Structure 1
Amino acid sequence: MATPSFRFTHYDLKAQRAGTVVEVTLNAVNNVRLMTAGNFQRFTERLDFKYIGGVARRSPIRLVIPDSGHWHVIVDMEGHHGLAESSLMIMAVPANAGQKQAS
């Protein structure tokens, strides 16, 4: 498996439900990319890939998982001075997410 030419930190989120919020804390500006397992494979092979996120100029940054499935987060230094120290927290989906409130 080839890897990108820049340094990155990889978080394997395993299976997650749609609506789950992922909070990433950084100590410097870096890219934060949330991607499916298939796109992570493409990322490691240096192919075009799709992701949610981008340059994180503030911390923490929160990303919402759009669909249930296997997800990955990459924190990378591409275009920046160095790889940020990072931490990740998965926030639980509210029990009533997606349900209408009774009037």
Structure 2
Amino acid sequence: MSEKSFVEYAWDFLERGSVLVVTLSGPANLRLMDPENFAAYQDGEQHKFHGGLARRAPYRIKVPHSGPWYLAIDLDGLGARGVRHSVDVQEPVKFEP
């Protein structure tokens, strides 16, 4: 089995409702995963993720629950050689009465 090639972003804690705003120079697969699914992804095993194929930037992914998160950016199946990327985190809006 060939080793998986990807770029990893990691956060010890993201709050539910935060939004990752991913800017890309070309199409890429974006996979937001909790630690368990990220470990399965690294091992080439079945895993669950939020995100998908990003064809246009910025691409937004909403964090479904609070906790640690990993974002993998890969080009699997795209036939591309590289893509520039950046990720910003927008905290959830808090309404005060």
TM-score norm. by structure 2 comes to 0.90
Tell me what 2:63 maps to. Answer: 65
User: How many matched pairs?
Assistant: 96
Q: Is the 8 A contact 2:12 2:69 kept in 1?
A: yes
Whole-Å Cα distance in 2 between the matches of residues 63 and 4 of structure 1? 28
- Encode CA deviations 1:10-66: one digit per residue, 9 max, x unaligned: 000221111000111000111011111111111111110000111100001000000
Q: Is the 8 A contact 1:33 1:75 kept in 2?
A: yes
Q: Unaligned 5+ residue runs, structure 2?
A: none
Tell me what 1:83 maps to. Answer: 82
Q: Unaligned 5+ residue runs, structure 1?
A: none
Whole-Å Cα distance in 1 between the matches of residues 5 and 90 of structure 2? 26
Deviant stretches of 4+, over 6 Å: none
TM-score norm. by structure 1 comes to 0.85
- Encode CA deviations 1:65-99: one digit per residue, 9 max, x unaligned: 00111111111010111231110001111112xx8
Overall identity of the aligned pairs, in %: 29
